[in-house]
């Protein structure tokens, strides 16, 4: 039997390289595709002022079409999860499974929306490196930073090299996303929710809400990990995905 295709969407303001532990660790059970969302990483196309989650999802759909992929297991971390939910709403028939990693189904409140605009302006005015240093403590757990200072440095460098216009467009797009819990209620494919034990950006109740919205879904919590659970606890993360894929 051909291996299932697992498409993994990165979070904000990151790129495809965050999925390296999955590309390496899951290649015997899935064909892993990890694209860069518009303007991030190796994607050097022009970026509009705002990239909505729907616009990113359209580009994921185009990627599947270009590669002749009828159905895939789609996964997304944080912002990548928002895009995966937008995709699930528009093209549920293209999914064989859905993997929601350190993410949430809710929309931004007004304060969060103002914060997005502030992030967008700071990225455009001051560059991304200024934002990068401040973000690392919110992305990686204290335990990860203590045990793997090299990972903290890598994540900071990864953020710092992203294009300001891509960061601004994504921040403004995230501010516009609707609540998508209802999408999960009507979805007829297996759903796995994964989070980190110490993710302060998306505390456990946000993952429990996703799980509750998706009938029959499972939740895996990566011990000791923060917001980047796939990087911080790759063994536990990959083990959960393996079990999930085996059931599809």
| Under 8 Å between Cβ of 40 and 166 | yes
Q: What are phi and psi of 100, to 5 degrees?
A: -110, 110
Binding mask 148-177 for ligand MLT (x = CB under 6 A): --------------------------x---
Per CB under 6 A, 222 contacts ligand MLT: no
Per CB under 6 A, 195 contacts ligand MLT: no
Per CB under 6 A, 41 contacts ligand MLT: no
In whole angstroms, give the CA distance from residue 102 to residue 192.
11
User: Using CB under 6 A, which of 30, 33, 79, 231 touches ligand MLT?
Assistant: 79
- Map tokens 């690392």 to a residue: 136
User: Using CB under 6 A, which of 78, 144, 206, 230 touches ligand MLT?
Assistant: 78
Residue numbers 83-112 binding ligand MLT by CB under 6 A? none
Q: C-alpha 238: how far from its chain's center? A: 15
Per CB under 6 A, 132 contacts ligand MLT: no
Which residues fall within 8 angstroms of residue 109, CB to CB, at 6 or more apart? none
Catalogue the E-assigned strands of 24-104: 31-33, 72-77, 95-101
Q: How far is the CB of 191 from ligand MLT (least distance, A)?
A: 19
Instruction: List contacts with ligand MLT (CB under 6 A).
Output: 11-12, 78-79, 174, 201, 227
């Amino acid at each position: 039997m051909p291996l299932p295709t697992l498409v993994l969407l990165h979070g904000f303001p990151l790129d495809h390289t965050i999925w390296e532990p999955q590309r390496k660790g899951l290649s015997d059970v899935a064909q892993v595709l990890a694209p860069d969302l518009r303007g991030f990483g190796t994607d050097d196309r022009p970026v509009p002022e705002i990239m909505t989650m729907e616009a990113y999802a359209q580009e994921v759909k185009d990627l599947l079409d270009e590669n002749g992929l009828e159905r895939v297991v789609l996964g997304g971390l944080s912002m990548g999860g928002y895009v995966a939910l937008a995709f699930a709403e528009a093209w549920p028939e293209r999914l064989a499974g859905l993997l929601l990693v350190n993410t949430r189904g809710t929309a931004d409140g007004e304060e969060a929306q103002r914060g997005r605009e502030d992030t967008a302006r700071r990225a455009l005015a001051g560059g991304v490196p200024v934002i990068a240093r401040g973000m690392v403590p919110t992305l990686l757990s204290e335990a990860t930073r203590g045990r793997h200072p090299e990972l903290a440095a890598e994540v900071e460098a990864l953020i710092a090299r992203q294009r300001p216009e891509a960061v601004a467009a994504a921040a403004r797009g995230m501010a516009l996303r609707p609540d998508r819990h209802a999408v999960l209620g009507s979805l007829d494919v297996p759903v796995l929710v994964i989070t980190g034990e110490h993710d302060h950006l998306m505390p456990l109740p946000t993952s429990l809400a996703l799980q509750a919205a998706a009938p029959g879904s499972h939740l895996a919590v990566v011990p000791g990990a923060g917001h980047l659970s796939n990087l911080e606890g790759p063994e536990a993360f990959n083990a959960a995905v393996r079990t999930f894929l085996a059931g599809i």
